[in-house]
Amino acid sequence: MVWPGATPGAGHVRVDKLLEQAFDYVQDVTTPKGLTVVGAIPEYVRGTFFRIGPGGYRTKCNNGKTYHVDHLFDGFSQIHRFEILGSSEVKYTSRHTCDSLLENIRRNGSLTGTYTFGQGKDPCQSYFRKVVSTFLPLISKKPLHQDPKPPINAGVTISKDYPGLPNLAKGESAMSNLYLKTDTHFLQGLDPATLEPVGVAYQHMLHPSLVGSMSSAHARSCPTTGDIYNFNLEFGSIPKYRIFCTSATTGKTDILATISDAKPAYIHSFWITEHYVVLCIFGSHFALGGSKMLYTHNVLDAIDPTDPSVKNRFYVIDRTDRRRGILSTYESEAFFAFHSVNAWEEDGDDVVLEIPIYKDNSILKQFYYRRLLGLESRGQDLEEVHLRFTRWRLKNVAVKELDIPTEDTMELPTINTDYITRPHRYTYGISTDFPFKIVGSLVKFDSLTKTSKKWRSEGCLPGEPVFVGDPDGEKEDDGVLLTCVLDMENAQSYLLILDARNLVEICRILVGGVVNVGFHGMWDDQAKGRIISY
List the alpha helices (DSSP H) in 336-471. Answer: 369-372, 382-385
Task: Tell me what pLDDT residue 8 has.
Answer: 37
H and E: helices and strands count for the chain: 6, 37
Which amino acid is present at 192?
Answer: P
Asked whether the predicted pLDDT for residue 151 surpasses 90, the reply is: no
Banded pLDDT at 126 (limits 50, 70, 90): very low
* Predicted confidence (pLDDT) at residue 240 exceeds the cutoff of 80: yes
Q: What is the mean pLDDT of residues 195-201?
A: 91
- Output the CA–CA distances (angstroms, integers) from residue 409 to 98, 242, 284, 388, 512, in the order listed: 33, 32, 22, 6, 32
The string of pLDDT tens digits covering residues 327-382 is: 999 999 999 999 999 999 998 889 999 999 999 999 999 899 888 887 766 554 44
- Report DSSP state, residue 494: E
* Residue-wise pLDDT tens digits, 437-454: 555 789 999 999 999 999
pLDDT at residue 384 in the model: 58
| Strand ranges in 273-378 using DSSP code E only, listed in sequence order | 276-281, 312-318, 326-332, 342-346, 350-357
CA distance 149 to 145: 9
Answer yes or no: is pLDDT of 71 > 60. yes
Q: DSSP assignment, residue 121? A: P
How many other β-carbons are positioned within 10 Å of the β-carbon of residue 484?
26
- pLDDT tens for residues 209-224? 999 999 999 999 999 9
Question: pLDDT band at 116, cuts 50/70/90?
Answer: confident
Dist CA 86 CA 262 (whole Å): 51
11, 92, 200 from 170: Cα distances, Å: 48, 21, 14
pLDDT band at 110; cut points 50, 70, 90: confident
Cα separation, 109 vs 99, whole angstroms: 15
For residues 341 and 354, what is the distance between their CA atoms, to the nearest angstrom? 5
Residue 477 has pLDDT above 90, yes or no: yes
Q: Is the pLDDT of residue 137 over 90?
A: no
Is 366:435 a contact under the CB 8 Å cutoff? yes
170 versus 13: the higher-pLDDT residue is 170
Compare 401 and 513 and report the one with higher pLDDT: 513
Give the count of beta carbons closer than 10 Å to the beta carbon of residue 149: 17
pLDDT at position 528 is 59
The region that residue 315 occupies, defined by phi over 0 for left and psi between -120 and 50 for alpha, beta otherwise, is beta
CA gap 531, 534 in Å, rounded: 10
- H-run or E-run covering 139: helix 127-139
Q: Which of 186, 187, 161, 189 is nearest to 174 (CA)?
A: 161
Domain encompassing residue 87: 2-533
Q: Is the confidence at residue 436, as pLDDT, over 90?
A: no
Considering only CA atoms, which of 482, 477, 478, 479 is closest in space to residue 533?
482
Confidence of residue 13 (pLDDT cuts 50, 70, 90): very low
| pLDDT reported for residue 370 | 87
Q: Which of 7-21, 135-149, 183-197, 352-366 has the lowest mean pLDDT?
A: 135-149
Among 14-23, 24-33, 55-64, 265-274, which is the least confidently predicted range? Answer: 14-23
Is the confidence at residue 206, as pLDDT, over 90?
A: yes
Residue 401's pLDDT is what? Answer: 81
Binding residues: 218, 268, 339, 520
Q: How far is CA 249 from CA 219, 224, 305, in A?
A: 17, 12, 42
| Interstrand relation of 89-96 and 326-332 (parallel, antiparallel or unpaired) | unpaired
Sign of the four-CA dihedral 90, 188, 26, 533:
negative
The answer to whether residue 10 scores a pLDDT higher than 60 is: no
Contact 81, 48 (CB under 8 A): yes
- Residue ranges of the annotated binding site for Fe cation are 218, 268, 339, 520
- Asked if residue 496 lies in contact with residue 483, where contact means CB atoms within 8 angstroms, the answer is yes
Q: Is the pLDDT of residue 239 over 50?
A: yes
Domain count, the chain: 1
Average pLDDT for 401-421: 85
1 pLDDT band (50/70/90 cuts)? very low
> Which region among 240-244, 289-293, 525-529 has the lowest average model confidence (pLDDT)?
525-529
256 burial (CB, 10 Å; 0-12 / 13-18 / 19+) is buried
pLDDT-above-70 percentage for the chain? 84
Say what the pLDDT of residue 402 is.
Answer: 74
